[in-house]
Structures are given as C-alpha cells and as structure tokens.
C-alpha cells in the first residue's frame, strides 16, 4: 500500500531504484511487489522510460466506493449552493480513520483567477483550515501525535505554516475557541480558507468530515473569511442531516 501511495504522489512515474530508495526496500523485494501490481493492473511500466506509473484502476475503485456510500451524490446540492452564495471554491472532506480526504467540490468563482485543485488527496492536518478544525475536536495530545507522526513538512506548506509543536498547540487552542478553522497562506502561498466540521446529527461527538470555503488571499482577507461563518454553518448542518454513511454502515452490519 505504501508503494501504491508513493506512485500516486509521483504520477509521472518512478524508476525501480527510486522506489526502492524511497521505501527503504531491497531492489529484489521492490521488483516482486511491482510485478504483482503490474499483473493485477494497478501499475504499468512505461516502455520508453522504464518508469512505473499507477493506472486508473485505483481511481475507478475509489469512485465505486464513493458511489456505494452516496456521499457525493447526497452532499453535492448544498456544496453547490454554498459555492454560488460565496463565489469561491467549496470542498468536502471525509474522515477515514486517522486521515481526512477531499472527495467533492463545487466551484463558485467565475473569473480567470481562481483556485481549483483536484480531489482525492489526503488533507494536510496542520496547514489547512479543515485539518486544524479536526485537530481541535480531538484531545490535544492525540492531535499533536497525529501531526508528529506525519511530520511538519508535506507538499502543502505555505509561508505561514506552523513548524513546531508549541506553535501547533497554540493554533489548536485558538481554533477550538473560534469554532472554525482558518488557513491564511499556511498551506499554499496566496491561498486562504475557512472550514467547519460536519458532525453526526445524532451524536455531535462523532466527526464525519469537514467543509471549507477557499480562494485567493488577495480576495479573501480576514473580514471576508469571517463573513462566511453563518452560510458555512448552515451548509454543514444541512450536510449532517443528509449524510448517508449511517445508513450505509447499518446496511453493512445488518
């Protein structure tokens, strides 16, 4: 699984020696794993470069999972409405164990300058509005341990990102007090965002995911971000009512 994740993060491909080095595996073991993945059509080797790249079989699997839970189908209308209201990018992430993943979005910006990333990535926890509000919902030591396990360096680290445990503790406490997460050029230069949690309608202690509103910082100063608090709160409450995971889990255990 780590090999697959590595290749997804390097979609242009990696050589067998690079994979071996990055995973600290012997070349022989790396070769066996790659051959098994090639045989099952999750990975292919490019003839002109000999690099290994992931196939779309992984994407298809993820899409089948999302379709079976009805998450995106159920939650897309309120995401679309929030995007229209704010004129910015709205994203939905779901909690999956000790990670949070972006699964759906709605673009409200219509100009030539807009932020529009792809879905399917893990949410960096200490540099994003979504990540920070999720961390703030946990016991502080648990949140710190989760970030330390991943490290303070990741592909999305902006100029204002927290870089130490003490800075992270302060950020978590401020976020908990606010009741929403803010990202002001912490994940990427020139990007700002605000996020709130989606909690289980029947048990507010169970976090299901988060919704964020994000855009370019020159348009979204602090006052503009704060103007999104109430429409964002209404959207996450609506999504909590629509959330299909409870029924999906109940069906699995029946």
At 43-74, the pLDDT tens digits run 999 877 889 998 878 777 776 666 666 677 78
Residues 84 and 166 occupy one common structural domain: yes
My answer on whether 201 and 242 are in the same domain is yes
To which residue do tokens 């000999």 refer? 50
More confident residue, 76 or 246: 76
- Say which CATH number the domain at 30 has: 1.10.10.10
Q: What does the pLDDT read at residue 69?
A: 60
CATH code at 176?
3.30.450.40
Query: What is the rounded average pLDDT for all residues in the chain?
Result: 87
Q: What is the CA radius of gyration of the chain?
A: 19
User: Last residue of some domain: 55, 83, 99?
Assistant: 55
Average pLDDT of the residues in 6-12: 84
Same domain, 135 and 215: yes
- Hey, is 186 helix, strand or coil? coil
Q: pLDDT-based confidence at 252, cuts 50/70/90?
A: very low
Residue 84 sits in the same domain as residue 205: yes
Report the length, in residues, of the chain. 254
In a domain? residue 61 = no
Tell me the pTM. Answer: 0.72
> How large is the average pLDDT for residues 169-185?
96
Q: Is the Cβ–Cβ distance between 68 and 126 less than 8 Å? A: no
State whether 35 and 105 are in the same domain: no
Q: Is the domain of 80 the same as that of 39? A: no
Would you call 46 helix, strand, or coil by DSSP? coil
Q: Would residue 236 count as lying in a domain?
A: yes
pLDDT at 213: 97
134 and 183 share one domain: yes
- Domain annotation covers residue 92: yes
Average pLDDT over residues 160-186: 95
Average pLDDT score over residue span 92-117: 81
Q: What percent of the chain has pLDDT over 90?
A: 57
Cα 43 to Cα 2, 7, 40, distances in angstroms:
13, 9, 8
62 located within any domain: no
Domain count, the chain: 2
Residue 248: pLDDT over 70? no
Same domain, 74 and 40: no
Helix (H) / strand (E) element for 145: namely helix 140-150
Q: Which domain holds residue 51?
A: 2-55
In a domain, 214, yes or no: yes
C-alpha–C-alpha distance, residues 149 and 131, integer Å: 14
């Amino acid at each position: 699984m780590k090999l697959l994740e590595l290749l997804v993060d390097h979609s242009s491909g990696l050589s067998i020696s690079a994979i071996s080095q990055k995973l600290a595996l012997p070349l022989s073991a790396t070769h066996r794993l790659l051959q098994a993945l090639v045989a099952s059509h999750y990975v292919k080797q490019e003839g002109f470069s000999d690099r290994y790249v992931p196939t779309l079989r992984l994407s298809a699997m993820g899409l089948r999972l999302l379709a079976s839970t009805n998450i995106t189908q159920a939650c897309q209308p309120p995401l679309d409405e929030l995007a229209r209201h704010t004129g910015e990018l709205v994203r939905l992430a779901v909690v999956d164990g000790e990670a949070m993943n972006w699964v759906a979005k709605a673009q409200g910006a219509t100009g030539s300058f807009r932020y529009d990333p792809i879905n399917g990535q893990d949410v960096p926890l200490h540099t994003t509005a979504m990540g920070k509000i999720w961390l703030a919902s946990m016991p502080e030591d648990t949140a710190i341990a989760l970030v330390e396990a991943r490290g303070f360096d990741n592909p999305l680290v902006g100029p204002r990102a927290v870089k130490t445990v003490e800075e992270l503790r302060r950020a978590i406490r401020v976020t908990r007090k606010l009741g929403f997460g803010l990202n002001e050029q912490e994940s990427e230069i020139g990007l700002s965002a605000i996020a709130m949690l989606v909690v289980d309608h029947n048990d507010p202690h169970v976090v299901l995911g988060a919704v964020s509103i994000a855009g370019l910082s020159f348009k979204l100063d602090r006052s503009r971000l704060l103007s999104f608090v109430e429409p964002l709160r209404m959207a996450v409450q609506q999504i909590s009512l629509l959330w299909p995971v409870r029924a999906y889990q109940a069906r699995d255990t029946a």
